[in-house]
Amino acid sequence: MAALACGLAGCSSASAAPATGAVSFAVGGRSNMPPIQLDGRAMAVLDEAVENQSLASIVVADGDPSVVASSRLKTEGENETAREQSRQRNRQALADGLVAAAADDPQADLLTALDLAARSIRSETGPHTIVVVDSGLSTVAPLDFTQPGMLEADPQEVVDQLRNAGALPELDGTVVVLQGIGDTAEPQERLSIAQRASLLATWEAVIKAAGASSVDFEDAPLEGEPEEDLPDVSPVPLPLPYICTPGRVELGGGDVAFEADTAVFRDAQAAEAVIAPIAEQMVAGGMTARVTGTTADVGEIDGQLVLSRDRAQAVADVLADLGVQPGDLTVEGLGSDFPEYVPDHDANGDLIPGAAAQNRKVTITLSGTISCS
């Protein structure tokens, strides 16, 4: 990193054009995610910064985020050939600095890293951009995905919790580009498609609520193994798509998730894929079932009862579409009044998003037994 500032500064005094703008790269460089490698839109930001002679900083999003490099990408030279060589040196120095950026504290705190990245470039005039190259699996409060239910939490409820805690970063007017969200390395288990989509939705909601002018996504995945001897990061436990015992199946978030405050599946095809084996065994065994919906303790109990019953009915409708006789299905909604309810408000009465997610489920209680394999 010591060589980065010199590399970015150039080595002569003649400058080609006025400098403008600023960019910060908030990168993981951690033991639970692949190495840093810019692609697509993220790489385009780097190239634009070099052309614009922008201020550039690098922030490592470990458990105690820090700015590891910051310098102006100044283009110097008496002619265009020399200036192009200067730009190439700056580009390479910045790329090398990103590859070299590595965690030196355990855990992961992307939320604080975003705030630090914004602060590191805030005083500069012109457009501001933050490029995030990170798995997004933060393990530090107040946005800690190791907490039960957080990977399935409603993004707006996560935003509300952070706002109530005064924990949203200040990203006013900043363009944020995300690459690598949900990309993992051992010992972190690989996320499902639905889990990665949920994680992306949460970060998009948080970044927009923090005032960013736009959130862009670079889909190119991060690949490869991290460097050895990086500090440990707590693995985020991944929720099962459902919990099955021979006579009972509990459908939670993930593939069988609903749009907020509705009985509409986020992904109807994914939900059907989970429910189909249950329907097949019910039909083969001539079973009946009670389909029960439950909710978080949000809003009036009458509304909870209606919503939970509607969600149970949505699951029952899928079962019926797959061959189960409607007369073999009993549907009920309990709202937040059920034996396994997880307290989902803190001492101040604020909703706890992860706990709320755990309470939003549909349970199928069967008259017979099914295979859970």
| Mean pLDDT, residues 27-52 | 96
The DSSP call for residue 123 is T
Residue 284 is predicted with a pLDDT of: 96
Interacting residues of 303 by C-beta distance below 8 A, sequence separation 6+: none
**What pLDDT was estimated at residue 334?**
98
Q: Model pTM?
A: 0.91
Q: How confident is the model over 67-87, as pLDDT tens digits?
A: 999 999 999 999 999 999 999
Phi, psi of 201 (to 5 degrees): -65, -40
The percent of residues in the chain predicted with pLDDT above 70, rounded, is 95
Q: In 28-134, which ranges are E strands? A: 55-60, 66-72, 128-133
**Cα–Cα distance between 139 and 159 in angstroms, integer?**
17
Q: Given phi > 0 = left and psi -120 to 50 = alpha, else beta, which region is 77?
A: left
Predicted local confidence at residue 3, as pLDDT: 45
Residue range 250-303, pLDDT digits in tens: 998 778 889 999 999 999 999 999 999 999 999 999 999 999 999 999 999 999
Cα dihedral sign for 281, 357, 238, 201?
Answer: positive
Q: What are phi and psi of 43, to 5 degrees?
A: -70, -35
Residue pLDDT, tens place only, 117-149? 999 999 999 999 999 999 999 999 999 999 999
pLDDT in tens, 313-333: 999 999 999 999 999 999 999
Q: Which residue has the tokens 């910045």?
A: 94
Q: By CB neighbour count within 10 A (0-12 exposed, 13-18 middle, 19+ buried), where does 99 fall? A: middle
pLDDT of residue 17: 67
- Mean pLDDT score of the chain: 93
The owner of tokens 């190119």 is 220
pLDDT value, residue 16:
52
Q: Is it the case that residue 351 has pLDDT exceeding 60?
A: yes
- Supply φ then ψ for residue 260, to 5 degrees: -55, 130
Q: Can you give the pLDDT at residue 373?
A: 75
Where do the domains of the chain lie, and which CATH numbers do they carry? 2-218 (3.40.50), 242-366 (3.30.1330.60)
pLDDT in tens, 182-217: 999 999 999 998 899 999 999 999 999 999 999 999
Going by pLDDT thresholds of 50, 70 and 90, the confidence category of residue 46 is very high
pLDDT score, position 254: 78
Q: What percent of the chain has pLDDT over 90?
A: 90
Identify the band that residue 240 occupies on the pLDDT scale cut at 50, 70 and 90: confident
